[in-house]
Amino acid sequence: MNLSQHPGNKKMTLNISKVVIRLLLKVILWKIKMKMEMQMKMKTILQPQVMMMMYQMKEKSFIFKMVQTNIKNLSKCLFVTIIKLNYLLLLVPCLWDIIHGTENLLFAMRIVQAGGS
């Protein structure tokens, strides 16, 4: 008869396997507990930093939106200014003609006053 076939050995291996399973479960539970404790420690340590990072992100987002709004407003102002400049540039030749027309009119009036052609 083999030792493995002996009824006492089967009981012994069953007891050993129960002990091993219990030990493995205890180790697994201990690891889970340690992991959770570590996460809690990290959470309490990192929470102020995370809050600060979130605040900074919100602040950066707000600043970005302000800059974006300012750029939009500047572009609108620039567009309006360009349109006004275009109108002014269109008026310049007219003003030039008016100035020269006035000079020509004054010159013609002098000739008429002098009584000549």
Task: Domain ranges for the chain, please list them.
Answer: 10-91
| Residue 81: strand, helix, or coil | helix
pLDDT number for residue 38: 82
Cβ atoms 111, 117 nearer than 8 A? yes
pLDDT at 62: 79
Cα(106)–Cα(114) distance, integer angstroms:
12
Question: Is 2's pLDDT higher than 70?
Answer: no
Rounded CA-CA distance 27/104 in Å is: 109
Write the pLDDT tens digit of every residue in 49-101: 777 777 777 777 777 788 888 888 887 877 778 777 777 777 777 777 777 77
Residue 18 one-letter amino acid: K
Residue 1: which pLDDT band, with cuts at 50, 70 and 90? very low
Residue with structure tokens 């919100």?
Answer: 58
What is the 8-class DSSP label of residue 6?
Answer: S
How is the chain split among helix, strand and coil, in percent rounded to 5? 90, 0, 10
pLDDT tens per residue, range 94-117: 777 777 777 777 777 787 787 755
